[in-house]
Amino acid sequence: MITSVTSWPSPAKLNLFLYITGQKPNGYHDLQTLFQFIDYGDELTIEANTSGQITLSPAIEGVKLEDNLIWKAAKALQNQTDCQFGAHITLNKILPMGGGIGGGSSNAATTLVALNFLWQLNLSDEQLAKIGLALGADVPVFVKGFAAFAEGVGEKLVEVEPKQNWYLVVRPDVSISTAEIFSHPQLTRNTIKRELTTLLEEVYENDCEKIVRILYPEVDKQLSWLLQYAPSRLTGTGSCVFAEFSSKGEAESVLSQLPSGTHAFVAAGVNLSPLKERLAEYESAYSQSI
């Protein structure tokens, strides 16, 4: 076990496109979506210990410890490996909940990747992704750490390298339930399944966007505003929307024109997760120390 205090990024993601191609008998939806990370996210500070307990600070208002995806990920890893070690985890939370940028899933994945290293469990990415899938459909892409085309419920991943644009991400002041959007009777569920090469060449869209804009006028208003400046759309089931630019300066120029009080940030799209980069740094430092 590695007992030093370590710090781990928990990056956000964007769904550059999202299509719903069908619905399974169990209610889950078949998707085709393109994930890309952004260099913006939460940070987890983790200190492994021999207590066997998973402790977490600070508490998140309205979320019981046992319902927190960080705690659930750590416990799942303990249970799968019969690990007797514990950890104290401190979360610096900046990603919004219910924003469609993967905050909770990313937190869970970072916990799995970090504790696998700190507890020296030596599980593969595939094994960690399998544990993560039980926690949420988006967890595996964060575990594997590369931009990916996903099918199925999001678990079938193919590594891709979309253009690494700059993004202005805006979060209207609403929290949207994924279940609410996916259960809506008017949601498009029959988009034709297409080959990846075809999808990458076409204009990117999100099948959830129409429903979200109907149900949440704040999202509709923000998207309408962004579309004046650049190609813009919803990520995931929302509520975050994003506009894409070829340079940081262009994105920051539009950011400066947003009304004061608007929650927004500029970030770069990255095809290799910052989590993977941090893991490589720690692995290199550890190998040199033994």
Residues annotated as catalytic (active site), given as ranges:
13, 138
DSSP structure string for 149-170: EEEETTTEEEE------EEEEE
What is the torsion angle, in degrees rounded to the nearest 10, for the CA atoms of residue 189, residue 194, residue 195 and residue 197?
Answer: -110
CA angle 57, 58, 62 (to 5 degrees): 120
Q: Which residue has the tokens 């890309």?
A: 36
Q: Which residue has the tokens 């400046």?
A: 229
Q: Which residue has the tokens 């099918």?
A: 151
CA 210/CA 194 separation, integer angstroms: 21
Are 134 and 76 in contact by the 8 Å Cβ rule? The answer is yes
For 35-60, b/e burial (b = at least 16 CB within 10 A) is bbbbebbbebebbbeeeeebebeeee
